[in-house]
């Protein structure tokens, strides 16, 4: 019989020890009655507060609870809730102790620690107030267009919450509505831009933003010749300086001499010298601001 050397025997013994320890670990870890510790984040719920009062702030909304018990019971420990009673509490500050008796635990499960051990809450009168809605927007319309107006529907909403907070508000704003590149009036849905940590009660549903878009108007001055239908008529001066306003985009593509005409009617006049006003014809959507001179001297031969 071959005798194992000392090195081979040492390796064999080490392997056997690992197998035994691994088996023991698996055996005990799978035992349903094996005791373990588990950290649970438990949400806090308040009850019993009078209807005319509201919590304006609280130090925490969840409690860290370390529990110990059988593994199979800890694995299903996901529905714990810490319910704190505010019955009889009035306006002001309140410290509420958090004790193990507040938690409903399965049999053989015990609380090892609670953090924090108390919760601080501030109580205020609950009031409501109607506040205007302001539509916030970002971006700009396409070149040559501008915002003519922005309206919100509804124009105002009733907001409820702690008295001090409600009295500090003057309006309710929305999250920004993007109007980049638009060329026509439109309606867009917007939502209120409210910090979710604030104890405000707002009506459900979005706000409809009506955004009015108009062409951007500009003012330009130009000197143009006075048109005369007959060669036998002389006019002095021969040029008129006009100031007009119109859509910016239309100005850019305008043929001035063709689209704008300055003329004086002379069909019913006999030879002689006359003083007349000019007639100025403009394209649709253009407006005459001024003309210089207002009177022209005509000489008809």
Blockwise average pLDDT, block size 10, the chain, 301 residues: 54 59 49 72 91 93 90 75 90 92 84 92 95 95 93 95 94 95 94 90 90 92 86 88 91 82 85 90 92 91 81
Determine the pLDDT at residue 225.
92
Closest CA to 68 of 12, 9, 109: 109
Q: What is the C-alpha to C-alpha distance for residues 41 and 97, in angstroms, rounded to an integer?
A: 17
Number of residues in the chain: 301
Q: What is the C-alpha to C-alpha distance for residues 301 and 297, in angstroms, rounded to an integer?
A: 13
Determine the pLDDT at residue 97.
93
Determine the pLDDT at residue 1.
43
Q: What is the C-alpha to C-alpha distance for residues 290 and 287, in angstroms, rounded to an integer?
A: 9
Q: What is the C-alpha to C-alpha distance for residues 236 and 238, in angstroms, rounded to an integer?
A: 5
Determine the pLDDT at residue 155.
95
Buried b (16+ CB within 10 A) or exposed e, 151-160: ebeeeebebe
In the chain the domains, ranked by start, together with CATH numbers, are 33-124 (2.170.120.30), 126-215 (2.170.120.40), 217-300 (2.170.120.30)
Determine the pLDDT at residue 10.
60
3-state secondary structure 138-164: ECCCCCCEEEEEEEEECCEEEEEEEHH
Per the listing, tokens 């700009």 go with 140
């Amino acid at each position: 019989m071959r005798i194992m050397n000392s090195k081979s025997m040492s390796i064999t013994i080490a392997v056997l020890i690992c197998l035994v320890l691994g088996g023991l670990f698996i055996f005990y870890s799978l035992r349903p009655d094996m005791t373990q510790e588990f950290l649970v984040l438990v949400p806090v719920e308040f009850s019993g507060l009078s209807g005319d009062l509201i919590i304006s702030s609280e130090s925490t909304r969840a409690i860290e609870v370390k529990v110990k018990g059988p593994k199979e019971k800890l694995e299903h420990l996901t529905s714990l809730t810490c319910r704190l009673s505010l019955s009889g509490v009035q306006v002001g500050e309140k410290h509420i102790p958090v004790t193990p008796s507040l938690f409903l635990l399965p049999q053989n499960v015990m609380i090892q620690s609670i953090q924090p051990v108390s919760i601080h809450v501030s109580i205020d009168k609950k009031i409501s107030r109607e506040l205007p809605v302001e539509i916030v927007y970002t971006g700009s319309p396409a070149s040559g267009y501008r915002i003519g107006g922005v309206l919100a529907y509804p124009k105002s909403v009733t907001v409820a919450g702690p008295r001090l907070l409600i009295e500090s508000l003057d309006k309710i704003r929305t999250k920004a509505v993007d109007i980049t590149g638009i060329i026509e009036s439109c309606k867009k849905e917007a939502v209120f831009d409210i910090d979710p940590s604030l104890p405000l009660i707002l009506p459900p549903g979005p706000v409809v933003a009506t955004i009015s878009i108009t062409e951007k108007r500009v003012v330009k001055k130009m000197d143009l010749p006075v048109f005369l239908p007959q060669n036998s008529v002389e006019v002095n001066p021969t040029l008129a300086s006009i100031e007009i306003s119109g859509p910016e985009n239309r100005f850019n593509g305008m043929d001035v001499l063709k689209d704008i005409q300055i003329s004086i009617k002379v069909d019913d006049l006999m030879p002689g010298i006359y003083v007349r006003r000019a007639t100025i014809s403009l394209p649709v959507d253009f407006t005459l601001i001024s003309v210089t001179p207002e009177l022209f001297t005509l000489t008809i031969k």
